[in-house]
Structure 1
Amino acid sequence: MPTNVDKFSEIRPYNDQEIQPAIKRVINSDEFMEAILSFRYPKLSKYLSFILKPLLRRYFLYKWSGIDSIDKMQQVVGKYVKYMIDTTTTKFSYSGLEGLDPEKNYLFVSNHRDIAMDPSFVNWALRLENFHTVRIAIGDNLLSKPYVSDLMRMNKSFIVQRSVSGVREMMKSLQTLSDFIFTSLKEDSSIWIAQKEGRAKDGFDKTDPAIIKMFYVHGKKQKVPFPEYIKSLNIVPVAVSYELDPCDQQKARELYEMAESGAYNKSEFEDIESIVSGIMGQKGHVHVSFGKPLEDDYETAEDVATEVDSQIYKNYFLHPSNLIAAEQDVDNISAQDIAAFKARIQAVSPELQETVLKMYANPVGQYMG
């Protein structure tokens, strides 16, 4: 880790020395044990948790006692990711890495469809081509449980503090985040960050210029001109495209209720449930497209956002699900694929079907410009 790491202590990923203490905290967390048991053994956990918890703790102590470094944790996570890909996708593919250098660090600005899976698929493609895995930006709204925060920071995640209030605190948070991203890129790691806060629930991928402005907070403080600073970050747009979205109905429900009543109230564990659904749900074919580094002179954050959007739209991999939903080029799609997707839509609650269809169709419109 960099020598000046202490100023990032509240947001940075854990280092080697912090892995085992974090593992012990997670294993000793009753909430973590209850979450695992209720997911794996929903019926038994209601009556036998007092027996199952000690057994589960012993299991995790056995499995995780030898993990004492970031590299070892990444190996463990890699095994879980491989299992997830083998069991929940029909195909995984990627493109564009031939244009990047494994010895360089990049700021990957990605479209955002799934809380946990987007960076996992990006990392898997990088691993397959012998690139280093990335540090992952994650909002503190997902870290309300201490064990979740520990798990994420053990896996090279750093915290975007969205919950801070007050102008002074917000500016301090932005400066620290911007400085951390720059320091990571210059010293030891690539970065993954979503193009905007929150997932694109409607299928529209749109970069928020505020993200680009956040990148420049550190550069502005150092009095580096905007075009020069942006070039120094090695920004690479990334498009992650799923043939099937395991959370499509959940997203549609939120959009529907917002449209109908102007509000949507999340349940207490909804974010955690979305993470689990995204990991365990069937995804069909998943493709990750890496764009080209931004090397031109961009004068404004809006100019940068426009270029990121352009590359994401152009590189987005259109699956049969997208084309069927948009009623485009269906003559080239097998009758089996058409029937399977239509059956999926029919299984959706009637009031949500149109919203889900639009979710799959919208990337086609973006691609065709």
Structure 2
Amino acid sequence: MKMPNAVDKFRDIRPYNDDEIQPAIQRVIKNDEFINAIICFRFSKIAKFMGFLLTPLLRRYFLYKWGGINSIDEMQKVVGGYMEHMIASTTTGFTYSGLDKIDPTKNYLFVSNHRDIAMDPAFVNWALYSENFKTVRVAIGDNLLSKPYVSDLMRMNKSFIVQRSVSGIREMMKSLGQLSDYIFSSLQGESNIWIAQREGRAKDGFDKTEPAIIKMFYVNGKKQKISFSDYINKLNIVPVAISYEFDPCDQQKAQELYDKAQFGEYKKSKYEDIESIVRGITGKKGRVHVAFGQPLKGEFSDAETVAQEIDRQIYKNYHLHSSNFIAAKQDISSIDIADQELFNARLQGFKPELQEIVLKMYANPVSNHIK
């Protein structure tokens, strides 16, 4: 039986239910900003002159494609079609490993390194879907949901909201408690969870788990008076290492790091997060690999020890590409000449002041793996 709204304590952060999918789709299709965004990104050359003609055509197209979707499963199948096309057109190969070591009948909290806003959980999901595991509910920060249509799109695709913009200690603790409770309830119920190991992408290529994320997990356990170690074991945390041969957003990340180092700050443009999402989806990625680790089991004294074990597995399992070895100047003799030329050509396409930053971005996973 469906929970009445009066006791739906996760309503403001959870993904949409089946009966909320079609109303959300209708809101998205009617949203002028959504249609304009599609026109600008997909039809940029004719947007200025033909936008008024494309708007009604796009609305009819989306109504035709999405008008019959009335459940999460149906939406996931549509997204699956988009994923197949994206993998074929933007990668030179997608692989995964480690799923043979976990049980598809159990629920897991997948904690992954974070390189791309949309594609990290999408690739994890695609690997799970390919092996008949349940797909994940995806944690996404409310800083990315400033546009109503973006929030609708994310929540109809199994995303739940991490409320980072709350202010005040009391509101912050209430938000953390709700999030912690939601994650645990999902795992005890019918769903896997994906969450990044840190707030924000690792723009320098140095993956590091924030202990604050682990502390958030335990807020609900502390409330239930369950010991820290026992609660961590209940969560079935699986570290995940996602590696891209090429990062579609590497130039933008390098520019941000350069500006912060030179001027002390970096000013985001108004639609930069949305542009990063689009660039991550449509940009060339080369080879992509998702490596699943083993569930965390054993004694853990505090959040730092859990974070260290997640990092250890991510560093160990991270699939190093030729781009990483070339940037780190290691084992280059065994790397194909064509791969070296491709990476060097990419590097030369950046402004001189960004090239060293980009090299470190690709080299850092090698340093961490050697540890």
**Fold match, TM over 0.5?**
yes
1:91-170 matched pairs, under 5 angstroms: 91-170=93-172
Structure-2 residue corresponding to 1:320: 322
Describe the superposition over 1:27-84 as per-residue Cα deviations: whole angstroms up to 9, x where unpaired.
Answer: 0000000000111111322122222111110111111011000000000000001100
Question: For residues 244 and 45 of structure 1, what CA distance do their matches in structure 2 show?
Answer: 30
For residue 7 of structure 1, give the secondary structure of its aligned residue in structure 2: coil
1:148-297 matched pairs, under 5 angstroms: 148-297=150-299
Structure-2 residue corresponding to 1:335: 337
Does structure 2 conserve the Cα–Cα contact (< 8 Å) formed by 1:93 and 1:288?
yes
For residue 310 of structure 1, give the secondary structure of its aligned residue in structure 2: helix
Question: For residues 57 and 347 of structure 1, what CA distance do their matches in structure 2 show?
Answer: 38
For residue 182 of structure 1, give the secondary structure of its aligned residue in structure 2: helix
Question: For residues 301 and 187 of structure 2, what CA distance do their matches in structure 1 show?
Answer: 22
Matched, 1:305 2:278: no
Post-superposition offset of 1:336: 1.1
For residue 240 of structure 2, give the secondary structure of its aligned residue in structure 1: strand
Describe the superposition over 1:73-128 as per-residue Cα deviations: whole angstroms up to 9, x where unpaired.
Answer: 00000000110001000010000000011111000000000000000000000011
Q: Of residues 17, 20, 24 in structure 1, which corresponds to 2:22? A: 20
Question: For residues 83 and 336 of structure 2, what CA distance do their matches in structure 1 show?
Answer: 30
Instruction: Give every structure 1 segment of 4 or more consecutive aligned residues whose post-TM-superposition deviation is greater than 6 Å.
Output: none
Residue type of the alignment partner of 1:214: M
For residue 92 of structure 2, give the secondary structure of its aligned residue in structure 1: strand
Residue type of the alignment partner of 1:353: Q
Higher mean C-alpha deviation, range 356-365 or range 333-342: 333-342
Residue type of the alignment partner of 1:231: N
Specify every segment of 5 or more residues in structure 2 that has no aligned partner in the other structure, as ranges. none
Name the TM-score, length of structure 2 as normaliser.
Answer: 0.98
Question: For residues 364 and 116 of structure 1, what CA distance do their matches in structure 2 show?
Answer: 24
Post-superposition offset of 1:331: 1.1
RMSD of aligned Cα (Å):
1.0
Question: For residues 342 and 266 of structure 2, what CA distance do their matches in structure 1 show?
Answer: 31
Structure-2 residue corresponding to 1:79: 81
Structure-1 residue corresponding to 2:357: 355
Describe the superposition over 1:215-266 as per-residue Cα deviations: whole angstroms up to 9, x where unpaired.
Answer: 0000000000000000000000000000000000000000000000110010
Describe the superposition over 1:148-194 as per-residue Cα deviations: whole angstroms up to 9, x where unpaired.
Answer: 00000000000000000000000000000000000000001000000
Residue type of the alignment partner of 1:208: E
Question: For residues 271 and 355 of structure 2, what CA distance do their matches in structure 1 show?
Answer: 25
Does structure 2 conserve the Cα–Cα contact (< 8 Å) formed by 1:67 and 1:73?
yes
Residue type of the alignment partner of 2:18: D
Does structure 2 conserve the Cα–Cα contact (< 8 Å) formed by 1:19 and 1:67?
yes
Does structure 2 conserve the Cα–Cα contact (< 8 Å) formed by 1:2 and 1:187?
no
Structure-2 residue corresponding to 1:41: 43
Question: For residues 47 and 332 of structure 1, what CA distance do their matches in structure 2 show?
Answer: 52
Name the TM-score, length of structure 1 as normaliser.
Answer: 0.99
Question: For residues 195 and 70 of structure 1, what CA distance do their matches in structure 2 show?
Answer: 26
Question: For residues 145 and 17 of structure 1, what CA distance do their matches in structure 2 show?
Answer: 22
Post-superposition offset of 1:3: 3.8
For residue 8 of structure 2, give the secondary structure of its aligned residue in structure 1: helix
Post-superposition offset of 1:2: 7.1
Q: Of residues 57, 62, 74 in structure 2, which corresponds to 1:55? A: 57
Post-superposition offset of 1:322: 0.1
Q: Percent identity?
A: 70
Question: For residues 142 and 188 of structure 1, what CA distance do their matches in structure 2 show?
Answer: 26
For residue 194 of structure 2, give the secondary structure of its aligned residue in structure 1: strand
What is the total number of aligned residue pairs between the two structures? 369
Question: For residues 157 and 193 of structure 2, what CA distance do their matches in structure 1 show?
Answer: 13
Q: Of residues 326, 337, 346 in structure 2, which corresponds to 1:344? A: 346
Matched, 1:6 2:14: no
User: Structure 1 residues 96 and 2 mapped into 2: Cα distance closer, same or farther (>3 Å)?
Assistant: farther
Post-superposition offset of 1:335: 1.1
Post-superposition offset of 1:353: 0.4
Residue type of the alignment partner of 1:342: N
Residue type of the alignment partner of 1:364: V
Residue type of the alignment partner of 2:10: F
For residue 8 of structure 1, give the secondary structure of its aligned residue in structure 2: coil
